[in-house]
Homo-oligomer: A and B are copies of this chain.
Amino acid sequence: MSRFALVLEYNGSDYCGWQRQKLQPSVQEAIENAICKLEPDFSHVNAAGRTDTGVHAMGQVIHFDMNKDWSSQTLLKAINSQLRPAKIAVLKSTKVDSDFHARFSAIKRTYLYKVIIRSSPLVFKRGLAWQIYKDLDMDAMTQGASFLVGHHDFTSFRSTHCQALSPVKTLDKLQIQDELLSSGKQYNFTLEAPSFLHKQVRSMVGTLVSVGLGNLAPRNIKQILVAKDRSKCGPLAPPHGLYLKEVCYNPDPFAK
């Protein structure tokens, strides 16, 4: 028995999210079906994070056990070959110790949220960013974001269905960068934490965009945070702007 870890990239548009569902296509099902073609008695994979319906990944990490002692590069190619034409790709593959766990061994997760400001419909980035028609106030959003960084009770920014034992988390980074596009402008929100609550990123980005639009003042972010009241949260940002960008481990199993 050998344990493997993979880095996956996927376009979440076609899936009901990471987790296997009875009646809808999931990323987990697509991956497990691909691996089953290589070892028919294969059981299941474990992911670092369960991305919601429509959420994308540039760096989801999964682990699973195989009977055969595959070369990690042969396994990468074989799974990619079985996945076609799904918009899911294995970017990296490595053999890991039997105690490695994609979710529980992770020490840091990075999410990226993309907002595009433009008046015409999106063409090449349709379904890959949240389109907003009015420009955002970058200074106000950055000021609002500063209240969220650190060790806090994030009750106001988690889904009422969140199953985490505690709403207290440490947000290490919330950086907002803007870039000019050939048509329009893009804001990239980068968020880093050891772990996140359910819908925490989309709740925080949605509320910060309300600040950027002038519907909330930066100091309202502080008030919403200390209120510990979900009903005070701004609108949830849509799933299609969100990317699970990176999951980190120590030591890094993918380091060469």
Contacts and interface: CB of A to CB of B under 8 A. Distances in A.
A83 B121 contact: yes
Interface stretch (A85-93, A134-142, A167-175, A231-239): A85-93
Q: Can you tell how many copies of this chain the complex includes?
A: 2
Given A80-B120, A120-B80, A9 B183 contact: yes
Contacts of A80: 120-121
Contacts of A121: 80, 83-84, 89
A156 interface: no
A144 B80 CA distance: 35
A58 interface: yes
Nearest to A128: B124
A210 interface: no
Contacts of A56: 124
B84 A123 contact: no
A102 B76 CA distance: 49
Contacts of A10: 123
Interface in A46-99: 56, 58-59, 76, 80, 83-84, 87-91
Q: For the side of the interface on A, what is the size category?
A: 20 to 34
A182 interface: yes
Interface string A102-127: 00000000000000000011111010
A87 B84 CA distance: 23
A28 interface: no
A9 B120 contact: yes
A11 interface: yes
Contacts of A90: 120
A166 B131 CA distance: 45
B183 A123 contact: no
A172 B118 CA distance: 31
A106 to B, nearest CB: 19
A71 to B, nearest CB: 15
Interface string A179-205: 000110000000000000000000000
28 contacts: A9-B120, A9-B123, A9-B124, A9-B183, A10-B123, A11-B123, A11-B124, A56-B124, A58-B182, A58-B183, A59-B182, A76-B120, A80-B120, A80-B121, A83-B121, A84-B121, A87-B123, A87-B126, A88-B123, A89-B120, A89-B121, A89-B122, A89-B123, A90-B120, A91-B120, A91-B183, A124-B128, A182-B245
